[in-house]
Every structure is written in C-alpha cells, then in structure tokens.
Amino acid sequence: MSGGQHRPTSHITGRRQAAGLRLATALAAFAAAIGVLAPDPIGAITGSIAMGAVIAAPLLRVAWLIFRWSQEGDYRYVAIGLGLLSVIAAGAALTVASR
Amino acid sequence: MAANVPLLLAAAITSVIGVLGGLGGAVLLVPALVLLGMPVADAAPLGLLTVAAGSVAAGPRHLAARVVNHRLGVSTELAATTGAVVGALASELLPQRPLVWILAAGAAGAALVGGHRTLVRNPARPELGPEHIGEQIGTLSGAYRSSYGVAPYRVRRVPLGLAFMGLAGLVSGTTGVGGGFIKTPVTSELMNVPTRVAAATTTFTIGITSSAALIIFALQGRMDFRPGSAVILGSLIGARLGGGLQSRLPAPTIRRALSVVLLLVAVILVTTS
C-alpha cells in the first residue's frame, strides 16, 4: 500500500467478535464470582466455567476469523489459522500422550 | 472463600497497575506470588489466567477502534504459540531455580521496555478514506486512523519478528507472564507497525498464547478452580478500574514507577532464588 499497490480492504468489522467477547467476559465474571463465593460442588463447577470461558474465547475467535477469511477467499490466512489451531491441538495431544 | 480473598485482591491490584503501566498484570502478579512463596510452576497458570481474562475483556474496545491486525496476529501466533506449548511442556520438568531466573529476566525486560518507549507512527495519506481502515486481504499490511488522517503501514522484517514472538511464547509458557512486553515493541519498532495497532494486536495474541499454555496446564492437572476463579474475577475488576483511571493519571510517570518496581522484583528474585 505504501509502495503504491493497493489491495482490497477486508470487510470484517469485528462486531460479532466484540459481541462474543462481551458475552465471554460477562459469563467469566459471573461464574468466577460464584466460584469464589459458593461452596463445592457449585463453586468448582462455576469456577471451571469461568476458566473455560477465558480459555475458549480466544480460540473461538481464531476459528471465526478462519471462517470469515474463507468467505473473503483469503486462503493463505485460512491455512495459517488452521496451522495455529493445529499447533494448539498437537500440544494438547502431546500432553495427554505423555501422562 | 477467605483463603482466596488475598489472591483476588492481588490480581485486582496488579491488573490496575498493569493496565496503567501498559504491561498487563501478570508480569507483576507472578513475581509477587513467587516472592510470597508460591512455586513458579503453580503461579504460572494463575498468571496466564490474568492474561487471558485481560485479553478477552479488552477485545471489544480494540475491535471498535479497528486497530487489531488479525492476519498479523494469527501469523505471529504460529511462532508464539509453538514457543508457549514448548515452554508449558518444559515447565513441568524444569526445577524451580531456572524458572525463577527466566521470570527475573522477564521482569527486567518488562522494566526496560516500560521505561523506554518510543511511538511508531506512520504518515497519513490524504487520498485514503475511512473505507481503507483495517487489514488488506492477502497481506499483513493495513491502514489505521491516526490523529492526522488515515495512515497506511506495511509490515517489515517478518522472519526476525517471528523469532522474537517464539521467544515471547517460550517465556510466557514457562513462567506465566504475558509476553506483551516483548511482542508490542517487536511489532512496532522492529516490524514497523504503528504503536496503537501493535498494542491492540498484541492484546489479541496474548489471549491465544495463554489459552494454548493453559490447556496444557489443565491437562497436566496444574489448574485449581477456586484460586483460578479468584484471579479471573480480580483481573476483570482490576482491568475495568485501570481502564477508568487511565485518562486521569499520568501514564509516563506510572510506567517509570512500574519499571523501577519490576527491576527491584527482578533483583530480589535472583538474589533469593
């Protein structure tokens, strides 16, 4: 772009990502509050929901981006995104296998 | 419940300071927990929960400003996440002392970055309008809204940048501090990305790095739900308070003060390890 050649700008505005992240934040805060205050097993269950929300949200965001990039026909970044999720899956598989 | 109140308060306070200092809360929380006697292997998952919660909470604000370069973030995350996965797997095997030394190096690195920060800005181009703001399809380049108009940027030195991202991920996976203190300056000053875009893209990517390492910690049985809940709640409260205070307090002064504290923490960590 600064060199003169201009490529089309992505139309992904991030509105749905933002809505999803707000939902994940609210869910994590609510579940974490119960996780701190409530006795087990409710506290343990809601605590796991809070941790699940903050762990899953960034990965779901990547999955959503892969979907949106495929709609834009940007297959190079679809492949990079899938590669990223594969690294995470391989790390998890390696951990399970080593136990 | 009472046992987790100090943890909740520590997470909230370090998040407020971290947000104000622009380095995130984990870089202060993890050393604080270690200095209070917690092993690095136990403090690391709590630090990464702070990082993940902060990343998720800050996302909507950055998306609204259209300053996140997702293509750049996902590309650099390939290296950072690989580093984080290796670090998380290795951290279970490493003894306490080398982990403390890595943590001390991380705190000292964050102190140096926080104390000395330049602002990379690209010149605005009058022919570009609001429709050009965002990422370009098929490239790592993009444009953002600067004070003087819409400014384009082109990412440079990608291989060197990826090497540093791998290092950031490794530090993050082994010690639980967010790698943002490495990622943001590398993205802006080495890869030529405007500071606002670099900071927002880093906030997006540290969430992915921490998720990858946290999955491994969970599978290793190193995650405890109740302290985890306290840290998440404290971090979200702290991030909200810090965001509210940001415009009222002098950021450069706070950054310098935080740098001094982090340097002291690094020295204490090394001398007591």
**Looking at A86-90, B11-15, B143-147, B235-239, which range is the least confident one?**
B143-147
% of chain A beyond a pLDDT of 70: 94
Q: Identify the band that residue A3 occupies on the pLDDT scale cut at 50, 70 and 90.
A: very low
Contact status, residue B149 vs residue B137, Cβ threshold 8 Å: no
**In a domain? residue A5:** no
B41 vs A61, which has greater pLDDT? A61
Report the distance separating Cα A67 and Cα A85, nearest Å: 13
pLDDT in tens, B231-255: 999 999 998 888 777 667 776 776 7
- To the nearest 10 degrees (0 to 180), the angle between helices B251-272 and B96-115 is 160
Mutate to test the interface with A, among B233, B236, B237, B240 (most CBs of A within 10 A): B233
**In a domain? residue A27:** yes
Instruction: Tell me if residue B150 falls in helix, strand or coil.
Output: strand
A85 vs B134, which has greater pLDDT? A85
pLDDT in tens, B184-221: 888 888 888 888 898 889 999 999 999 999 999 999 99
How large is the average pLDDT for residues B120-145?
A: 85
Say how many Å lie between the first and final Cα of chain B, rounded. Answer: 31
Contacts of A1 in chain B (CB under 8 A): 136, 141-143, 152-154
> Among candidates B110, B214, B216, B90, which has minimal Cα distance to A58?
B214
**In a domain? residue A52:** yes
pLDDT mean across residues, chain B = 86
**In a domain? residue A38:** yes
Residue A87 distance to chain B (closest CA, Å): 6
Contact status, residue B54 vs residue B239, Cβ threshold 8 Å: yes
Report yes or no: B71 at the A interface, CB cutoff 8 Å. yes
Range of the domain at A26: 15-93
Cβ contact, residue pair A33, B233, below 8 Å? yes
Q: Identify the band that residue B11 occupies on the pLDDT scale cut at 50, 70 and 90.
A: very high
Cβ contact, residue pair B75, A31, below 8 Å? no
Q: Identify the band that residue A79 occupies on the pLDDT scale cut at 50, 70 and 90.
A: very high
Range of the domain at B186: 2-272
| pLDDT value, residue A2 | 44
**In a domain? residue A45:** yes
Q: Quick one: tokens of A35?
A: 């996780």
- Find all residues with CB under 8 Å of A40, minimum gap 6, and list them: none
Report the distance separating Cα B113 and Cα B184, nearest Å: 9
How large is the average pLDDT for residues B31-36?
A: 87
Nearest to B141 among A1, A32, A87 (CB): A1
How many structural domains comprise chain A? 1
Report yes or no: B262 at the A interface, CB cutoff 8 Å. no
- Work out whether the CA dihedral B60, B64, B65, B69 comes out positive or negative: positive
How many structural domains comprise chain B? 1
Residue B195 distance to chain A (closest CA, Å): 17
pLDDT in tens, B106-124: 778 777 776 666 665 678 8
**In a domain? residue A8:** no
